[in-house]
Structure 1
């Protein structure tokens, strides 16, 4: 961006901050995402002293990112990382005395996107075999795409009907125990013997990507719009709640760190509220008019 890069005169620079951030966050699950954002920011902030990154600079970054046509959520991820680095530079590293306020853009409330059982069946039938098996396993376990793609036989115990995700493979950096239901077991049985190390393969080699052209073509043939691979996890969670799985159990099954993350599925089940909804007086219809029949009516 013209006019955005300044000559560094003193102190620590933005590249210094990026280098230290990457060093201190080397075990962060989303580090690759951070690196992508840093690469995008590089031509905009590469020549800046940390002290010179002020509100006008932040606003220029916001304007530049919005001009790429991405959604507000994508813009916010860039701004949130920029803000996090600046906060650390101020609070932890003590490189600067103050930092500018970084305002995130308003994001619309996104509904939970999930498949009906009919849509899921149609998708499984349209996908090539290896992707169909991976989707079925995702719907049975709720595992994230990367965990399914990278699943190894050393992480599976078919006798005990359990799999596990190691802490360094988990988004929360905590181990996840994955109970294997009948559907998951059927999928794993079909994969057994195909590869010595990895569970899911294609033409004898480990799968390296799931959202391929075949995935998108199958979605199109099924008439399923606005659906990402990660929405398979939303589908798994939604089905669980619809079948009565308590939210605190779902949280543990899905490996979510906070209860807030599973509250988005609460509206799929109101069974635990029904007994309380029945506490109100009964409305009776008489002569086309409504009457309130309270507890005193039975006295």
Structure 2
């Protein structure tokens, strides 16, 4: 049977003139669309076998191939979710039908209800898939141009030490410990909530984040300062595996009502948990820590990500700028001496 149901979804199953079996999900409960896709695929396979034409690949098989080859990616689950949203718009379309205008319309649909950054993630995934179809699989001659939306510059929102202390006083104990640890180490939220005792060596005063847990895909060495040591020492004995717990269970969520209510009581607005990382980097910058050191400590993949904090270190740059004063004043003094 060429069409059949598996659960609530329709599936396509047929054999090409070359004896190759084609079986795929139409990802719809309506029989009309799977029938159209089936007829299109079957006609295509006949032209390839009998007329020697190059096969016209559909978006469906291209997206499937992408998912099969990128299962190792950290963003694989996100890609699956994004492609699930794209699928109704591209289902059954051949790659040569995905023109710049067609792709732009899909981006515009996402932009109507989401930010430019979210729409760009959809467009960037489409662009990556079509580039792979061109360069690696040679399914199309050239990919269409995919234009992204202009995004506003990323903000740097951070707390003063005084604001941070007020927030710590307003938070429940388990969240206050995690905030203090985040401010002491600059670690991302997931790296704090998922931190295990197997990743901590209190004797050597170090912790580490495995490469598969890090956003950049590289392991992170964390030097534990006195504040971080104090927080971790306080957690000893609460759980055999997880470093941070609440009521004897590992903490998995920090953006809770308690977090938002504490922010409100502390009089802090427009502040996210991730901004604790901004706060850590901003404090280091203001105290004269070089940007390249901050990049290494924070495990940022690109120096561009750290340059956003450069404006917070005017005194540090002023010190370097004064080098020219010495050179010019020295040259002027030498000229006067020669004149005398």
Shorter-chain TM-score above 0.5: yes
Is 1:78 aligned to residue 122 of structure 2? yes
Report the Cα distance in structure 2 between the residues aligned to 1:221 and 1:15, rounded to whole angstroms.
51
1:208 — aligned with what? 252
Once the two structures are superposed, residues 68-93 of structure 1 have per-residue CA deviations (whole angstroms, 9 ceiling, x without a partner) of 1x221111111111111111111112
**TM-score, length-scaled by structure 1:** 0.87
1:60 — aligned with what? 105
Equivalent residue in structure 1 for 2:84, among 39, 44, 65: 39
Larger radius of gyration: 2
Equivalent residue in structure 2 for 1:104, among 122, 130, 148: 148
SS of match in other structure, 2:239 = coil
Is 1:159 aligned to residue 203 of structure 2? yes
**Bigger share in helix:** 2
Equivalent residue in structure 1 for 2:75, among 17, 23, 30: 30
Report the Cα distance in structure 1 between the residues aligned to 2:195 and 2:99, rounded to whole angstroms.
45
Greater RCO, CA 8 A, separation 6+: 1
Report the Cα distance in structure 1 between the residues aligned to 2:336 and 2:74, rounded to whole angstroms.
62
Report the Cα distance in structure 2 between the residues aligned to 1:192 and 1:20, rounded to whole angstroms.
47
Report the Cα distance in structure 2 between the residues aligned to 1:45 and 1:122, rounded to whole angstroms.
51
Q: CA RMSD in A?
A: 2.2
Is 1:138 aligned to residue 138 of structure 2? no
1:1-299 equivalent positions in 2, closer than 5 A? 8=37, 9=40, 10=44, 11-68=56-113, 70-278=114-322, 279=324, 295=332
8 Å CA contact 1:114, 1:235 repeated in 2: yes
Inter-CA distance 174–33: structure 2 relative to 1 (3 Å threshold): same
For this pair of structures, how many residues does the alignment match? Answer: 282
Listed as ranges, the gaps of 5+ residues in structure 1 are 282-293
8 Å CA contact 1:29, 1:170 repeated in 2: no
Report the Cα distance in structure 1 between the residues aligned to 2:126 and 2:248, rounded to whole angstroms.
43
Report the Cα distance in structure 2 between the residues aligned to 1:21 and 1:114, rounded to whole angstroms.
39
8 Å CA contact 2:288, 2:316 repeated in 1: no
Inter-CA distance 216–47: structure 2 relative to 1 (3 Å threshold): farther
8 Å CA contact 2:239, 2:248 repeated in 1: yes
Report the CA distance between 1:298 and its aligned residue: 6.2
Listed as ranges, the gaps of 5+ residues in structure 2 are 1-32, 45-55
8 Å CA contact 1:145, 1:230 repeated in 2: yes
Where has structure 1 moved over 6 Å in runs of 4 or more?
none
SS of match in other structure, 2:294 = helix
Inter-CA distance 42–127: structure 2 relative to 1 (3 Å threshold): farther
1:290 — aligned with what? none
8 Å CA contact 1:136, 1:183 repeated in 2: yes
Q: Which moved more, 1:127-136 or 1:28-37?
A: 28-37
Q: Which moved more, 1:200-209 or 1:105-114?
A: 105-114
